[in-house]
Amino acid sequence: MKLTASQIDNLFKFTRKHYVYHYDVQSELVDHLANDIESIWQETPNLSFEQARDKSFKKFGVFGFMDVIEAKQKQMNKRYWKILLRFVKEWFTMPKLLTTILMFSGIYLVLQVQYSKFIILGSLLLAIIFESVYLYKDRQAQKKKTEKKEKIFLLEAMIGQTKGGFVSIAFVNIFNFIHLTKVEFSSLETHWLLLIAFCTTVVMIMFYVTSYVIPNKCQELLQETYPEYKLAKSL
């Protein structure tokens, strides 16, 4: 016996009720549950849909779908980092390499200026304020999507969450470190200045890629990752 459309819809609601929020993970679990329920019915056809569904769900163990969710998150996290590195590498090849060299040279020259610490602190503070406003607006837009119960894919959510990662982690931590340190950058030896300039350049590129490049290419990346993305969004 095959499941009806309403029973399939019930399985989607069932996975959502058990804390599976992303459509691609829900689809995978619904497909697994549907096949298992049909197998259960072949063995015990007298069971109701709900009984067969609950019997199938018990096979996932005490933690339910949590192990599956964790495995999918790890898998998608690896994919996200591959995407990130792909775009970061572009900044070390022509023609973007010229921009990277100019950025690196500019940071290196600023570090040699007396009281460069305050120039960097001021720049970081402006960046944190600007990005905080941007992230607030973006979070509000994401909240509206959730309220409308739109289909959100795991990679899509990951792109949105990582968008603010470098603001909250890298920029804020760098600001605190520079603010607390007693070292004057202009007094450091050349090799230290070169290292700091290189690390700062890489952080800025990663920030730009995670906050602007990847979000702007979100639709393209989702269609590349999920063959069913376009169809799911149109339903």
pLDDT tens-place string over residues 172-192? 777 777 767 767 777 788 998
Instruction: Reply yes or no on whether the pLDDT at 147 is more than 80.
Output: no
Please tell me the predicted confidence (pLDDT) of residue 52. 94
Q: Is residue 118 packed enough to be buried (19+ CB in 10 Å), middle (13-18) or exposed (0-12)?
A: exposed
Alpha-carbon distances of 52 from 12, 43, 113, rounded to whole Å: 15, 11, 72
Please compute, for residue 214, the number of CA atoms within 13 A of its CA located in the half-sphere on the CB side. 27
Instruction: Reply yes or no on whether the pLDDT at 32 is more than 90.
Output: yes
End-to-end Cα spacing for the chain? 26
DSSP code of residue 63: T
Instruction: Reply yes or no on whether the pLDDT at 137 is more than 70.
Output: yes
Share of the chain above pLDDT 70, in %: 90
Rounded distance between C-alpha atoms, residue 160 and residue 180, angstroms: 31
61: Cβ contacts below 8 Å, ≥ 6 apart? 67
Banded pLDDT at 211 (limits 50, 70, 90): confident
Side chain identity at residue 107, one-letter code:
I
Nearest-Å Rg of the Cα atoms of the chain is: 24
Instruction: Reply yes or no on whether the pLDDT at 119 is more than 90.
Output: no
The predicted model scores a pTM of 0.80
Average pLDDT score over residue span 55-72: 92
Phi/psi for 21 (5° steps) reads: -100, -20
Average pLDDT score over residue span 82-100: 95
Q: 8-22, 173-187, 214-228: which range is least confident on average?
A: 173-187
